[in-house]
Amino acid sequence: MSIYHDSIKTIARHLQSSFNLDKLCDSRILVAGASGMIGKPLVDTLMELGSSCQNLSVTAMGRNEDRLREAFKSHLEKEGFSLLVHDVNNPIPESGDFDCIIHAASNTHPVQYSTDPVGTITANVLGTMNLLEYARLHSARRFVFLSSVEIYGEARPDQASFSEGDLGYIDCNTVRAGYPEGKRAGESLCCAYARQYGLDFVVPRLCRVYGPTMRTGDSKALSQFIRKAASGEDIVLKSDGSQFYSYIDVFDAASAIITVMLKGENGGAYNVSSARQDITLRELAQKLASLAGTKVAFELPDDTERAGYSKATRAVLDNRKLLALGWKELYGIDDGLKLTLDILKEDD
């Protein structure tokens, strides 16, 4: 059994021991952005839970059929699993009723923000509206919109962390702003559909996520660090590394999303983070260099990279609202980084 598959089983067992999963039985769930870094472990965990939840079916949606088939080749012949090849920026084709729709489709890293700013915005605005409209027309029981720590903007100098009612500063007249403003607009659309049409929704707001399902071209700093560490290269730090952020591994992120889907209050937003994974960028680089037996090197970013970087120097999420639902993380930063590297090395 692969380390990745074993980790999915571990997360599924953790959820089964923590919650009554009867709500998943006899349910049909659509995951948009299914082949993405978060979408894949989310789908895999739901499929694992389906082995003990009667008549749970999962539809994995993405715009690239080859990528979808590769990501979910182990599920293709399974009962209760299906693929839907479609771009969320276009109206969703008739695919029957879904009890829950999870929107995880979005550009998610700096180079995409700066080279595809229009696509970054549209996936979170047009894509969200298309999925919400489908949910409305098919009377979905719940809509889950994956939002981001980015919606909080820059913290005040005296602000230790963001709770769900906080809001920081964002300069909307920049290319980089397309991602956080798109997420804000997506959340507002959910609220509008709830008020006007009575749609039930929840919003997991994820901190910076990492894991073995990151794509090769992912330009986030930590993703680049992990890629370098997995190949035994020096870790390249393109700043002084003083940025202090909340991070979470994809496995704990998937379990948190499922927890919010099952237990979250209608209309509620929930910060998804782990206090065990709050750390500076420099410390992250040093930890990965230590695991890889290499060192940290410093390099200036190019103009494309710089245009996509967040200006926030502190972005820590207060996750007490999520914890109140009964969620608990499995991994700390050391365990999460090691697990990620172990899986990447196994897959080489």
Could you read off the pLDDT of 191-221 as tens digits, one per residue?
Answer: 999 999 999 999 999 999 999 998 877 767 8
By CB atoms closer than 10 A (0-12, 13-18, 19+), residue 335 is: middle
Confidence (pLDDT) at 87: 95
CA–CA gap between residue 267 and residue 292 (Å, rounded): 43
Q: Residue 69 pLDDT > 90, yes or no?
A: yes
Q: Which residue has the higher pLDDT, 296 or 158?
A: 296
Q: Which among 308, 243, 313 has a CA at the least distance from the CA of 282?
A: 243
- In eight-state DSSP terms, residue 236 is E
Q: Residue 1 pLDDT > 80, yes or no?
A: no
What value does the mean pLDDT take over residues 158-164?
Answer: 90
- What is the pTM (predicted TM-score) of this model? 0.94
* pLDDT tens-digit map of 298-333: 775 666 656 545 666 888 999 999 999 999 999 999
Confidence (pLDDT) at 306: 60
CA–CA gap between residue 189 and residue 203 (Å, rounded): 12
Instruction: Identify the weakest region by mean pLDDT among 95-99, 236-240, 319-323.
Output: 236-240
Confidence (pLDDT) at 305: 55
Cα–Cα–Cα angle for 149, 153, 158, nearest 5°? 100
* pLDDT tens-digit map of 21-39: 998 999 999 999 999 999 9
Band of pLDDT at residue 174, cut at 50, 70 and 90:
confident
Task: Give the phi and the psi of residue 4 in degrees, each rounded to 5.
Answer: -60, -50
Q: Residue 99 pLDDT > 60, yes or no?
A: yes
H-assigned helices in the chain? 3-18, 39-50, 65-71, 110-115, 117-137, 178-197, 221-230, 250-263, 281-292, 303-308, 320-323, 333-347
What value does the mean pLDDT take over residues 52-79?
Answer: 95
Radius of gyration of the chain (CA): 19
What is the sign of the dihedral through the CA atoms of 333, 33, 173 and 203? negative
CA–CA gap between residue 135 and residue 268 (Å, rounded): 18
By CB atoms closer than 10 A (0-12, 13-18, 19+), residue 158 is: exposed
CA–CA gap between residue 28 and residue 97 (Å, rounded): 8
What value does the mean pLDDT take over residues 151-161?
Answer: 87
Task: Return the percentage of the chain with pLDDT > 90, whole number.
Answer: 72
Average pLDDT, the chain: 91
By CB atoms closer than 10 A (0-12, 13-18, 19+), residue 174 is: middle
Task: Give the phi and the psi of residue 272 in degrees, each rounded to 5.
Answer: -105, 105
Neighbours of 22 (CB within 10 A): 11
What value does the mean pLDDT take over residues 55-66?
Answer: 96
Q: Which among 146, 131, 269, 141 has a CA at the least distance from the CA of 199?
A: 141
What value does the mean pLDDT take over residues 232-241?
Answer: 87
Confidence (pLDDT) at 300: 58
Band of pLDDT at residue 169, cut at 50, 70 and 90:
confident
Q: Are 236 and 223 in contact (CB under 8 A)?
A: no
* pLDDT tens-digit map of 117-148: 888 888 899 999 999 999 999 999 999 999 99
Q: Residue 348 pLDDT > 80, yes or no?
A: no
Task: Give the phi and the psi of residue 50 in degrees, each rounded to 5.
Answer: -65, -20
CA–CA gap between residue 52 and residue 74 (Å, rounded): 18
Band of pLDDT at residue 185, cut at 50, 70 and 90:
very high
